[in-house]
Amino acid sequence: MTIPEAGTESVARAFTVKRLASPVNVLWHFCRAKPLGAAGGVLVVVLVLLALLAGVVSPYAPNEQHAADAVVGPNSRYLLGTDSFGRDQLSRIIYGARVSLKVGLIAVGIGVGAGTVLGVVSGFFKGAVDSAIQGVMDALMAFPGLVLAMILVAVLGTSIVNVMIAIGVTFIPTVCRVARGSVLSVSENAYIEAARSIGVPAPRLLLVHILPNVAAPLIIIATAGLGGAILTEAGLSFLGLGTQPPDPSWGQMLSTAAGVMQKAAPWLTLYPGIAITLSVLGFNLLGDALRDVWDPRLRGT
């Protein structure tokens, strides 16, 4: 029994669609279309693996001191040298990745969660609710992000939890504006008007019909925002408002090595600076690539 030609073409098309939709093929096409985004993804994966496997891959404990080897340059035993307490720089940088990623993920989660709720409510209900929420967002956006985080940490107190909250608050206005704009745009579609006309309750309308359609830009903001959160945490730690000694933090390592130590032992500032740069670069490249892929206005550019 022979399969009709039309049926054969249908099976072939279905097989092609299934093959192209597999995760491996999607990843391969993404790497070909966005090589810089793929490079950023590799940097992000390396950062995540270092954070998860810090206890396995680091040669020493982050606070283990070797007094006889204080301020030793890079060598076969200490690949990135040691600081003034004889602590291995490579180990502290690896453990610092865990701190930076933890702060970044929780802070961005706070900012995206709160900003999405406020933006969706603002764009959906409009009127006085919209005016009140946007007035607060305007007040928050009047402060540069780092300055606002410094003010909040000074008010709340110096601790890693307060640093996460402070950095998260700095992301709320941006996320709120994007979520509000997306909700206003989606609300004009015909299917939303049809759902309203048949009496779909507001909570169901928000959760089922509107929120899934505004998720893509929020994911992009979250990805790119992780780099900004890591940079802000490093800045706060550099100023003494972030991670406190002896816990390892890239910004704190830069602060400790600044001044006299920068001239006597330049590796103490070089390698933490490289770690911060590569981490922020990785998240920014990945976020830009995801924006180009998911934004139909930029697709194909």
**Contact 173/141 with Cβ under 8 angstroms?**
yes
What is the total count of domains within the chain? 1
* Residue 23 placed within a domain: no
- Domain assignment present for 14: no
Instruction: Supply the range of the domain harboring residue 130.
Output: 100-294
Q: Is residue 280 part of a domain?
A: yes
Query: Does residue 229 lie in a domain region?
Result: yes
Highest-confidence range of 1-5, 79-83, 199-203, 274-278, by mean pLDDT?
274-278
Under 8 Å between Cβ of 255 and 244: no
At residue 3, does pLDDT exceed 70?
Answer: no
Question: What sections of the chain are H helices per DSSP?
Answer: 5-20, 23-33, 35-52, 54-57, 89-125, 127-141, 145-156, 160-186, 190-197, 202-204, 215-238, 250-257, 260-264, 267-294
Flag whether pLDDT at 235 surpasses 60: yes
Question: pLDDT tens-digit profile of 56-69?
Answer: 999 999 988 888 88
- How far, in Å, CA of 103 to CA of 107, rounded? 6
* pLDDT of 297 over the 70 cut: no
Residue 158 belongs to a domain? yes
Q: What is the pTM of this model?
A: 0.81
Q: How far apart are CA 66 and CA 60, in angstroms?
A: 10
pLDDT digits (tens, 9 = 90+) for 112-140: 999 999 998 888 888 888 899 999 999 98
- Locate 191 and state its tokens: 């299917």
Residue with tokens 């720089």: 89
Whether 235 is in a domain gets the answer yes
Read off the CATH number of the domain in which 183 is found.
1.10.3720.10
Is 84 a domain residue? no
Instruction: Quick: pLDDT tens for 8-51.
Output: 444 444 444 444 457 778 778 878 888 888 898 899 999 999 99
Residue 76 lies in a domain: no
